[in-house]
Amino acid sequence: MIPFIVMVGTFILLYGAGLSGWSYMSDWHTPLQYAVAAMLLIAASAHWGKRRPDLIRMVPAGLPRPGTIVTLTGLAEIAGALLLLYPPTAYMASIGLALLLVAMFPANVRAARSHITLGGRAPTPLGLRTALQFVFIAAILLAG
């Protein structure tokens, strides 16, 4: 839920700055790109540190080297966030990030069904998590 709050809060702040005269943020697209990038960077930060063991447990059984998968998906989120802010790569980055979120969704299903905590917090209920995933994917595609 924190990534969602960061994304919405960043968008409101930057869009408001655009309405207040910051010409770089004067449309909806640029604030959305930065808001999505902020969300991705916050989400990626969980791939290292105290939440890492929880993310490793979320990786569906049967996939090899869950620690490596968590590291690579975190790096992909960071790279995607940066590429989303560079106009020549924004569109392709958004496609790649949307596919990444689709590929990572089974981990969220596993967390919800297996009651895997994240940072000591209960997992987001599956219905809400599914809705959030659609919102994240839509925001990513619109940002591209």
CB 108 within 8 A of CB 58: yes
For residue range 40-74, list pLDDT tens digits in order: 999 999 999 899 999 999 999 999 999 999 999 99
**Domain total for the chain?**
1
> Binning pLDDT at 50, 70 and 90, where does residue 118 land?
confident
Q: Which residue has the tokens 């996939």?
A: 63
Q: Hunting for tokens 């930057």 — which residue is that? A: 14
Q: Is residue 29 part of a domain?
A: yes
In a domain, 57, yes or no: no
Q: Using only C-alpha atoms, what is the Rg of the chain? A: 16
**Residue 64 DSSP one-character state:** S
Q: Are 66 and 54 in contact (CB under 8 A)?
A: no
Return the pLDDT at 1: 86
Asked whether the predicted pLDDT for residue 119 surpasses 90, the reply is no
How high is the mean pLDDT of the chain? 97
Q: Specify if 55 maps to a domain.
A: no
Q: Report if residue 22 sits inside a domain.
A: yes
Residue 67: which domain range? 2-49+62-143
Tell me what the mean pLDDT of segment 104-113 comes to.
95
In-domain check, residue 16 = yes
